[in-house]
Every structure is written in structure tokens, then in C-alpha cells.
Amino acid sequence: MAVPTDLPMHDNGLVVVVVETPSGSGNKLKFDNQLGVYRLDRVLPAGMTFPFDFGFIPETLGEDGDPLDAIVLLDAPVHPGCVVLARLIGIIEAEQQERGKRSWERNDRIVAVAGGPKGHAAINSFDDVDPFRLQAIDSFFSNYHALDGERFRVRAHAGVKAAETAIRQGHATFRGGRA
């Protein structure tokens, strides 16, 4: 079995996203590289669930030392460990502040839809996403981080080019170089 973090980050012109936590889940799952399995990272409070499929892009590293976070907007959830070949629609440029710290750390989220001819062909940017859905995503992260006494703020919803740049930079960091 392939290690998900070692998969290629692109396939046939699409971005590879490994889903860790499916939409509708009240459990946050995370791939544990040392154990080679998905493990329960936390249980959300009653009534709080992920409003999207959440995972990561292999062969990348963000400023927090983890693979770049990725949100995939799908009509139905997929199982943890499922690889989704996705088309970028943008990036949520965000910062978080850990409890007791004064500084803010970047922690962006790449946003994509399922690629391919049967994917969400009509969604090409944030302009094509229901504003209520975007607000739900932003609010989810604010509430999710508040559970640990952290703060989260969205700096911007940027387009595909910004998402591509973040992925290139994350890949360079993964490779130990600079973008």
C-alpha cells in the first residue's frame, strides 16, 4: 500500500488530494506517517461536523510543517484515504493564533472541486460557489480553532493562480528548497 504523503501531487493535470476527514463527520481524522494509518485526532462537539471533505496535497509542506490543507467541495462525502483528482478554484488565505501566543501563523486552505468531465464543471472560482457555503467554511474554521482556545481569521479568498503559487511553494519546501 502506498503511503499517502508520498503520492504525487499532480495526475493528468489535476491536483491530488488525499481526503482524511469526510464531509458530515464529527470526527477529525489525520494520517499518521509514523504508524502508516489514519488516526482519530479529535471528536467535535455534538452537532458540529465538517461541511466539506478535508485532506491534504501530497509532496507539499506548509508553514506549520504539515502537508498543505485542502478542501474538496463534493456532492457526497468520500471515505478517509480516498484520493480525489481535483481542479483548483482558489485558496483561503488565513492565519491562526495559538492559545497564549501573540504572533499569528499562516495556515491557508487550498479549495478544489472534483476534476474530470463529470466533476463540478460550472465551478471555476469562488465566484461560482454559493456565498452561504463559503461563509459556512470560514465559520467552521473559526469555531473549530476556538475549541482549543485558538483564533482563526480569513485574510482573503484568492484565486487559482494564488493556489497554484502556494502549491509550488509547498512543494519546494517539501523538497527542501525554495520556490
**Interstrand relation of 83-97 and 53-57 (parallel, antiparallel or unpaired):** unpaired
| Range with the poorest average pLDDT among 61-70, 101-110, 114-123, 132-141 | 114-123
Res. 88: pLDDT tops 80: yes
Rounded to 5 degrees, φ, ψ at 117 are -65, -25
Res. 177: pLDDT tops 80: no
pTM, full prediction: 0.93
- Determine the pLDDT at residue 157: 97
Q: Report how far residue 157's alpha carbon sits from residue 136's, in angstroms, rounded to the nearest whole number.
A: 14
**Interstrand relation of 105-106 and 109-114 (parallel, antiparallel or unpaired):** unpaired
- The DSSP call for residue 159 is -
Going from N- to C-terminal start, the domains of the chain cover 4-93+108-129+157-174
Looking at domain 4-93+108-129+157-174, does it have CATH number 3.30.365.10?
no
Q: Report how far residue 126's alpha carbon sits from residue 70's, in angstroms, rounded to the nearest whole number.
A: 15
Q: What is the mean pLDDT of residues 100-123?
A: 88
Q: Amino acid identity of 88?
A: L
Model confidence over 14-39: pLDDT tens digits?
A: 999 999 999 999 999 999 989 999 99
Q: What is the mean pLDDT of residues 99-109?
A: 92
What's the CA angle centered on 103, arms 99 and 105, to 5 degrees?
90
